[in-house]
């Protein structure tokens, strides 16, 4: 008889926990540091502008967060769907959960990010709508779904050649493909379809993990490393040619920072290849470390990774509250306060995440399935 997969895979939780740490640094910089870089799109970026190494690398290292978060969400979706296979109502639940996640961006996260001055449709919006779409798409044959995801990722930049002028088509194109400001005070930096392609990739990763459930963690290392290095080679090719695949954000020179300055809004081929390549390499490393030995230094990452959505919903609001209480002026430069603020929030939320993980493990079929 084939062995059942474990309830949680340590390597996935640890990588997702690392993503939560890096994400907190990025959001702390966005709220606290006047020099925090946001020029990750051809829109509004002036070629020749400086890339201060400290701020740029602080921002750049956190680019890993959104694509790996979405990738692993697709992986978790595949694993949980297999665990609950045969239970009635799974498609309806996936639609409900996707709509719930998508609604949290304008209704809850916009409070922490913009105090409702703007309604920001970010990663939760893209992830939630993608999950709704996956409720139907997951029934496609694996090869057809993989082809759809790959085509969406590689051909997405062609969407810029279509520029609908009238509403609602302009808003719809913005929300699905190009991002931007669809209407009013709504800002959509995360268009759905490019991020759906990453979620599909994560689904494929989950199906691969399920294909040979008895395989030890160490046996996963070489294939994952191969995928990661292949994606990094694709990044080097696309960024080196500096044409299609960079979504209009081209290199000013051959300097290293210029190579790393890739378009996230919307995610270009070079961005996805670089960040997912690094993500697969890190996942291979975490599988290599998943050898049954106690690793106390990695334990906090496992806790944060197992409660990533819960953590995400609280961290920005706590950062915002801390900035107000401590009167941290966002108009003043402060890379040090970025790291200090991020560390403080991580320390404050970690015990809550540990408590929530225990509660969720004890109540796997309650409201915790949504968070």
What pLDDT digit, counting tens, does each position of 244-279 carry?
999 999 999 999 999 999 999 999 999 999 999 999
Q: Is the pLDDT of residue 201 over 50?
A: yes
Query: Phi first, then psi: what are they for 291, rounded to 5°?
Result: -115, 15
Residue 329 falls within a domain, yes or no? Answer: yes
Mean predicted confidence (pLDDT) in 48-64: 93
> How many angstroms separate the CA atoms of 250 and 312, rounded?
32
For tokens 């008889």, name the residue.
1
> How many angstroms separate the CA atoms of 325 and 85, rounded?
48
Residue 2 falls within a domain, yes or no? Answer: no
Task: Name the strand (E) or helix (H) holding 195.
Answer: helix 192-211
Residue 18 falls within a domain, yes or no? Answer: no
Task: Name the strand (E) or helix (H) holding 13.
Answer: helix 10-32
Q: Specify the pTM.
A: 0.95
Mean pLDDT of all residues belonging to the chain: 93
Residue 46 falls within a domain, yes or no? Answer: yes
Residue 21 falls within a domain, yes or no? Answer: no
Local confidence band at 9 (pLDDT 50, 70, 90 cut-offs):
very high
> How many angstroms separate the CA atoms of 73 and 80, rounded?
10
Local confidence band at 294 (pLDDT 50, 70, 90 cut-offs):
confident
User: What is the span of the domain harbouring residue 38?
Assistant: 27-370
- 35 contacts 335 by C-beta, under 8 angstroms: yes
Residue 231 falls within a domain, yes or no? Answer: yes
Radius of gyration for the chain, computed over Cα atoms and rounded to the nearest angstrom: 20
> How many angstroms separate the CA atoms of 251 and 249, rounded?
7
Number of independent structural domains in the chain = 1
Least-confidence region, from 110-119, 213-222, 344-353: 213-222
* pLDDT number for residue 324: 86
Residue 58 falls within a domain, yes or no? Answer: yes
CB neighbourhood size of 325 (10 A): 8
Local confidence band at 327 (pLDDT 50, 70, 90 cut-offs):
confident
Residue 157 falls within a domain, yes or no? Answer: yes
């Amino acid at each position: 008889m084939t062995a059942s997969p474990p309830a949680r895979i340590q390597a996935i939780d640890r990588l997702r926990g690392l993503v939560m740490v890096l994400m907190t640094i990025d959001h702390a910089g966005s709220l606290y540091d006047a020099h925090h870089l946001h020029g990750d799109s051809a829109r509004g970026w002036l070629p020749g502008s400086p890339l201060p190494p400290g701020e740029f690398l602080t921002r750049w290292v956190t680019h890993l967060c959104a694509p790996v978060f979405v990738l692993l969400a697709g992986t978790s979706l595949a694993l949980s769907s297999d665990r609950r296979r045969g239970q009635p109502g799974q498609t309806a639940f996936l639609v409900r959960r996707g709509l719930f996640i998508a609604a949290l961006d304008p209704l809850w996260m916009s409070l922490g990010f913009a105090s409702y001055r703007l309604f920001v449709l970010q990663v939760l919006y893209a992830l939630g709508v993608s999950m709704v779409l996956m409720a139907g798409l997951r029934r496609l044959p694996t090869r057809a779904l993989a082809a759809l995801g790959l085509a969406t990722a590689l051909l997405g930049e062609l969407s810029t050649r279509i520029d609908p002028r009238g509403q609602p088509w302009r808003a719809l194109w913005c929300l699905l493909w190009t991002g931007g400001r669809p209407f009013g005070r709504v800002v959509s930096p995360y268009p759905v379809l490019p991020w759906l392609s990453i979620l599909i990739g994560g689904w494929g990763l989950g199906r691969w993990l399920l294909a040979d459930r008895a395989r030890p963690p160490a046996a996963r290392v070489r294939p994952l490393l191969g995928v990661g290095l292949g994606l990094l080679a694709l990044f080097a090719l696309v960024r080196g040619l500096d044409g299609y695949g960079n979504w209009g954000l081209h290199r000013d020179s051959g300097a290293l920072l210029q190579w790393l300055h890739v378009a996230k809004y919307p995610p270009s081929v070079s961005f996805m290849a670089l960040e997912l390549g690094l993500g697969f390499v890190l996942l291979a490393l975490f599988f290599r470390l998943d050898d049954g030995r106690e690793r106390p230094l990695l334990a906090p990452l496992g806790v944060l990774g197992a409660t990533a959505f819960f953590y995400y919903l609280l961290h920005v609001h706590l950062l915002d509250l801390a900035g107000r209480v401590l009167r941290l002026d966002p108009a003043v430069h402060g890379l040090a306060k970025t790291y200090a603020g991020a560390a403080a929030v991580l320390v404050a939320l970690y015990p809550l995440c540990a408590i929530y993980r225990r509660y969720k493990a004890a109540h796997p079929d309650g409201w915790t399935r949504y968070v």
